[in-house]
Structure 1
Amino acid sequence: MKRTIKHIFYILFIAVILVSCGNGASLQHYFVDNQESNNFISQDIPISMVKLDKSNFTEEQNEAFNSVRRLNFLGYKTTEADTETYQVELAKVKTILSDSKYNDLLEFSDKGRKVIVKYIGTDDEADEVVVFGSSKELGFGIIRVLGDDMSPDKMTILFTALQTANIDESQVKDLMNFFK
């Protein structure tokens, strides 16, 4: 009897391991696979390191900002010589973001630059927010916004507030210089 129980336990354990090891493409895998590749830059930014003038933030905007814990950034810089590689990498990211687990939040275009904001979670709580921007001249960038008690509504409010906020540009100087 003990032997049968042991076998059942081992079979269940192996089944759980095999099911949890999905090989599907994910944004996290894409980050890990490309963080040290040519033409890519990767940076993890704890939100505590982001210096931002929040004096004009409303209580709701402050709550949204405080719900963010960390930002993961991955950028790809395009050059005239590698437009084909850029198209391949862009297609990979678009395929990942077209997965049904990503819900649309915002999308806009300006001067040949396109920005898409998506989230994973429910209408009440976002587990992860993804900001994806691309430009044929510069390349593309992906920001994974990770935090606690984030909601899609809060993130929309936060993105609106950040457009007019006074951000210390020295914090993102390395990222901006990468795309020059």
Structure 2
Amino acid sequence: MKIILFIITLLFSLVFGSCSSEPTLQKYFVENTENKDFIALDISSNILDVDKTKLTVVQKEALQSFEKINVLAFKLNDKNKSQFEAERAKVNLILKDPKYQQLMKFNSGKQGASVTYVGTDDHINEFVFFANKNDAGFAVVRVLGKDMNPTHIMNMISVLKESKIDLEQLKPLQELIKK
């Protein structure tokens, strides 16, 4: 009987102990998707309408490494200034986690931006672009993929130039920009 009780206790501690309460961008996105102050947008790789026969080998590799983009934008207004500060602080705290390696950071006092990634230099699984402006709000963009690298990102830019982007998927973001 003691062995069964020990096994049950061990299983409970493993199940509930392994659930991390640490904030992550994934959790942050899920928690705020339905929040009225945020605009959430998922952009799949099929947004790029591109003739794959015209792509170079490296462009094809870059395209294959790309899976999707998640966008979460907070639109600042007169009523949510304190919430803006709190939400921006949450994102900054998440991005201070050592798993997010910083590539670049820009800050001018009223606006700022950073680019971080998750993974190793040659096997990046996620690029994160975080931009904020004190009088407009902020946006977090997650570019998700498999085994991406900085060269893939540069090659994806050339693929974007040759693609016919399906703008229908971007309508929510266009509405945010208009306001």
Q: What is the TM-score of this pair, normalised by structure 1? A: 0.79
Q: Which of 66, 69, 72 is the aligned partner of 2:70?
A: 72
Mapping for residues 1-180 of structure 1, pairs under 5 Å: 3=1, 6-51=4-49, 59-108=57-106, 113-151=111-149, 153-158=150-155, 161=158, 168=165, 170-171=167-168, 172-179=170-177, 180=179
Shift of 1:65: 2.8
Identical-residue share of aligned pairs (%) = 32
Identify which range, 52-61 or 142-151, moves more after superposition: 52-61
Secondary structure of 1:128's counterpart equals strand
Shift of 1:102: 0.4
Secondary structure of 2:138's counterpart equals strand
Specify the code of the residue in structure 2 equivalent to 1:73.
Answer: V
Specify the code of the residue in structure 2 equivalent to 1:72.
Answer: N
Specify the code of the residue in structure 1 equivalent to 2:131.
Answer: G
Shift of 1:136: 2.2
46 and 175 in structure 1: CA distance in 2 versus 1, 3 angstrom threshold: same
Secondary structure of 1:80's counterpart equals coil
Question: Distance in 2 between the 1:117 and 1:106 partners?
Answer: 5
Gaps in structure 1 of 5+ consecutive residues: none
Q: CA RMSD in A?
A: 3.0
Q: What is the TM-score of this pair, normalised by structure 2? A: 0.79
Shift of 1:159: 6.5
Question: Distance in 2 between the 1:109 and 1:57 partners?
Answer: 37
Specify the code of the residue in structure 2 equivalent to 1:33.
Answer: E
104 and 31 in structure 1: CA distance in 2 versus 1, 3 angstrom threshold: same
Q: Is the 8 A contact 2:61 2:152 kept in 1?
A: no
Shift of 1:15: 2.6
Deviations 1:134-176 (A, max 9, x none): 122321111222222223x235424754786666483423202
167 and 142 in structure 1: CA distance in 2 versus 1, 3 angstrom threshold: farther
Secondary structure of 2:80's counterpart equals helix
Matched length? 176
Specify the code of the residue in structure 2 equivalent to 1:88.
Answer: A
